[in-house]
Structure 1
């Protein structure tokens, strides 16, 4: 179940882009990176069929893209699509608690802390988690290189209040 949080993360990216995103790194936010994140969020928000959604996502992911879940097992997009389909995974609700985009010359990293409600293998659960999305320039275009799920974050009192609003 924890390895499928990737899809929730992308669903909440639309909120993240519109919300108060913090910016760090050595360069100001790159408009192509923000457009990439917005495109990913639109796909995740509007396309519920797993195969169709992931075929659209494939166009903005690196050919070497991998997802790394808290189970410690990296998996490519095809494997993740098959697993999500088999588990009947559904993103039900999500809230971004905080997000920071670290922008560098040829790399961008989005760090998100979020709350989410999911259905996986028929079980509904809600969780707090952290996510790291790495983007880079591939053949002259910004692509999503990897998505890495972290363990349950330790939230400050202020972050907990924001999550419970």
Structure 2
């Protein structure tokens, strides 16, 4: 699978359309925290629910501009405010809270990627141990068979002539 290296957090899944996603899944849909990078260079980092942007998150355009706040059903419904003391509206989300949530998403995505790498190493070690155990079983069976064959050939069978 090819990966989009323009976004350092999108290492987990490369999609057919050129987009990438690193984060949590449930029932084959993006769920929880994750980072989705579009092939055009835009990225969304934050919360997902049933494959749609849902909750606190930040959308970064390739020109460096960002749009952050609370997302509902894939669309931003409460933009963040830069000021903690004078928010744009009484329900506005503070920008620093969004940045903290995005940082948590980045950390979660990195941990998910690291866990996958560890799981891969563990699976390889288990497979190698299984191959070694099977080889030991085969060797022990052959040794027993050789011993039995040797014992049968070493016993003299009396010949009686009638």
TM-score, normalised via structure 2 length: 0.21
Higher strand share: 1
Q: When the two structures are superposed, what TM-score results if normalisation uses the length of structure 1?
A: 0.21
Instruction: Report the structure number with the largest CA radius of gyration.
Output: 2
